[in-house]
C-alpha cells in the first residue's frame, strides 16, 4: 500500500475549514457548508476517474446528501466499502469531527487512482450526510440497498475522528475481546480488526479496543450483518495515565477538548495521529480488497 502524505490530507482539511468559514462557520446538515463540502469532494473524485452519485434524503426538515464513489473494476459481486461522515455539528467547522475521516479517505481514494490500483474486490467510498442527527445518511443508504446489493458488500470500513488533538489509538472491537455488552460484530469484523491492528503494531503503536456499539455510521451496516471495522482517536473521553504513557499527550484531559464545539478548527488536529490513521486506512483498503486464491 502507498504511504499517504500528511500534507495531502491536511490540504483537504484546509479546504473544509475555508468552506465552513465562508458559510457561517459550520458544515452542518441543511446548511450551505454541507453541500459545498460534498461538491468539493465530488469534484476531486470525478477528475480522478471515480463514478460518483449524490444520493438525497430528507431528515429534520432539510435535504441531506450522501456522496457515493465507485472505482471502476474489481469483482462486482465482492465490494469493499470505506466511509466517513462529512457533516459537522452546527456549533463549528467539524475539522476533527469529521473532516479528519473525510479528508483521510479522500486521500486514500486519490492514491487508488494515482497508483492505478486494480484490486480483486470492487472499491466503493462514501461520505455520509446527517450523521450528527443520528446516522441518518448511512441508515438511508443501507435501508435503500436492494437485498442483492447488500449481500455483495463484504466489508465496511468507517473513520470518524482520526486526528484528535490529545490522541488515543482505538480500533472498533469487532471481536468483542473487551467483553462489553455490545457483543461481537458480524463474522469478518474480527479480520478487519486484525488487519488494522497489524498496521499499528508495525508503527510501534499499541491500540485499545473501543466499543463496537453503533455510535457511528458502521451501525446500520452491522445491523444487517455486514462485517465492519475502523479506527478512532477519541472524543469526550478522558485519557488515562497508562494511555498517556503509551501514546504521549496529556493524562486526565479529553482526547478532543473541542469535540462538538466551535474550536474544532484546523488547529484541532494532531498531525502524527492523522498521518498514522491515513496510512492505516490505505493498508486496510489494500489488504482487505485482495481476493484469496481459490
Ligand atoms: N459518532 C460520534 C460523533 O460524530 C463520534 C464517535 C465516533 C464516537 C466513534 C464513538 C466512536 O460525534
Ligand atoms: Ca503517511
Ligand atoms: Zn460528532
Ligand atoms: Zn463524528
Ligand atoms: Zn478487539
**pLDDT tens digits, one per residue of 211-256:** 999 999 999 999 999 999 999 999 999 999 999 999 999 999 999 9
CB 131 near ligand 1, within 6 Å: yes
pLDDT at site 147: 96
* Ligand 1 pocket test target in 128, 161, 229 with most atoms within 8 Å of CB: 161
CB 216 near ligand 1, within 6 Å: yes
Q: Look over the chain and give the mean of its residue pLDDT values, rounded to a whole number.
A: 98
Contact 250, 239 (CB under 8 A): yes
Q: Which ligand sits closest to the CA of 10? A: 2
Contact 112, 285 (CB under 8 A): yes
Q: Which residue has the cell 475539522?
A: 95
Q: Domain ranges in the chain?
A: 6-288
pLDDT at site 292: 81
ipTM of the complex: 0.95
Select from 3.10.105.10, 3.40.50.1580, 3.40.630.10, 1.10.3720.10 the CATH code of 6-288: 3.40.630.10
pLDDT at site 183: 80
pLDDT at site 181: 76
Ligand 5 centroid from CA 98, angstroms: 23
Q: What is the pLDDT of residues 74-124, one digit of tens each?
A: 999 999 999 999 999 999 999 999 999 999 999 999 999 999 999 999 999
User: Is residue 193 among the annotated active site residues?
Assistant: no
Residue nearest to atom 10 of ligand 1 (CA): 215
CB 173 near ligand 1, within 6 Å: no
Rounded CA separation 246/227 (Å): 29
Kindly indicate the confidence band of residue 180, based on its pLDDT and cuts at 50, 70 and 90.
Answer: confident
Amino acid at each position: 500500500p502507498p504511504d499517504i502524505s500528511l500534507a495531502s490530507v491536511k490540504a483537504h482539511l484546509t479546504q473544509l475549514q475555508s468552506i465552513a468559514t465562508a458559510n457561517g462557520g459550520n458544515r452542518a446538515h441543511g446548511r450551505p457548508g454541507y453541500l459545498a463540502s460534498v461538491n468539493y469532494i465530488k469534484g476531486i473524485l470525478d477528475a480522478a476517474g471515480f463514478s460518483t452519485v449524490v444520493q438525497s434524503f430528507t431528515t429534520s426538515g432539510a435535504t441531506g446528501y450522501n456522496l457515493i464513489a465507485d472505482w471502476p473494476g474489481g469483482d462486482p459481486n465482492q465490494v469493499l466499502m470505506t466511509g466517513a461522515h462529512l457533516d459537522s455539528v452546527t456549533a463549528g467547522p467539524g475539522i476533527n469531527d469529521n473532516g479528519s475521516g473525510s479528508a483521510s479517505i479522500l486521500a486514500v481514494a486519490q492514491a487508488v487512482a494515482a497508483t492505478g490500483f486494480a484490486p480483486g474486490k470492487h472499491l466503493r467510498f462514501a461520505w455520509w450526510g446527517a450523521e450528527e442527527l443520528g446516522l441518518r445518511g448511512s441508515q438511508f443508504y443501507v435501508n435503500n440497498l436492494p437485498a442483492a446489493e447488500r449481500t455483495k458488500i463484504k466489508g465496511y470500513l468507517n473513520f470518524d475522528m482520526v486526528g484528535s488533538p490529545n490522541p488515543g489509538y482505538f480500533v472498533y472491537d469487532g471481536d468483542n475481546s473487551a467483553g462489553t455488552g455490545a457483543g461481537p460484530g458480524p463474522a469478518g469484523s474480527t479480520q478487519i480488526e486484525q488487519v488494522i491492528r497489524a498496521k499499528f503494531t508495525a508503527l510501534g503503536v499499541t491500540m485499545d479496543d473501543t466499543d463496537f456499539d453503533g455510535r457511528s455510521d458502521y451501525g446500520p451496516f452491522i445491523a444487517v450483518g455486514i462485517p465492519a471495522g475502523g479506527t478512532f482517536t477519541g472524543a469526550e473521553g478522558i485519557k488515562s495515565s497508562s494511555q498517556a504513557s503509551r501514546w504521549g499527550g496529556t493524562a486526565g484531559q479529553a482526547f478532543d477538548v473541542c469535540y462538538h464545539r466551535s474550536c474544532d478548527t484546523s488547529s484541532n488536529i494532531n498531525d502524527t495521529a492523522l498521518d498514522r490513521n491515513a496510512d492505516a486506512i490505505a493498508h486496510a483498503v489494500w489488504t482487505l480488497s485482495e481476493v484469496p486464491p481459490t
